[in-house]
Amino acid sequence: MEQRIAVIDDHRLFVAGLELVLARLGDEVVVESFTGPDQFLSAVSQGTSFSLAILDFYIPGFEVTETLAQIRAVSAGLPILVLSSSVSVADRDIAIAAGASDFVQKHTAPDKLLSVIRQTLSGPGQGGNGQLSEFSVPQIKGLTPRQVEVLALVSKGFSNKEIGRLLEISPETVKSHLKDIFTRFGLRNRVEAIEFTRQMGLG
């Protein structure tokens, strides 16, 4: 039986590579790509049904929790696999809380990604079910995993208050973590911290 996968991602080069990986699922799987959630929602409203949606966590102009809610509203039982280059546990938690079936980092090995997709397509209760496949927070020498999470969220432009809410810690604790990070790596401000995150592969 034919199964249709929707890929919702604005990075065309990444999508082209992902389509090559998904082609390994066999001829019975059809992949349809959309550069934004609005295009996907339009296709669904016109009667196109899907077995799985693969959604990029960050698409300019769209907020992931709102997008997940919109998809759930039109396709209540549709499994949604969120793909992201993010290494933040907070981002993972946001996606799962908003209704994502699973959260997979974009650097996950193709075979692992295909395994998650095959399990999801095999039927209800067989997919990722929020098991957070291949999720890992990279190690940065001298920083704790929590400090890495804080730094990753700084790179996304979150304030101390917002970071505290996402990580369920106080803004003062966030400030303390940032002070330690800045001191350890000789950073003077958030702009330099963002550049540092890019160099470390977090941004």
CB 105, CB 86: distance < 8 Å:
yes
Distance (Å, rounded) from C-alpha 52 to C-alpha 141?
38
For the chain, domains (ranges, CATH) are: 3-121 (3.40.50.2300), 145-199 (1.10.10.10)
Instruction: Note if the pTM is more than 0.75.
Output: no
Average pLDDT by stretches of 10, the chain with 203 residues: 92 91 92 96 95 94 93 91 81 86 86 89 52 54 82 82 82 93 92 84 60
User: At CA 14, angle to CA 128 and CA 98, rounded to 5?
Assistant: 40
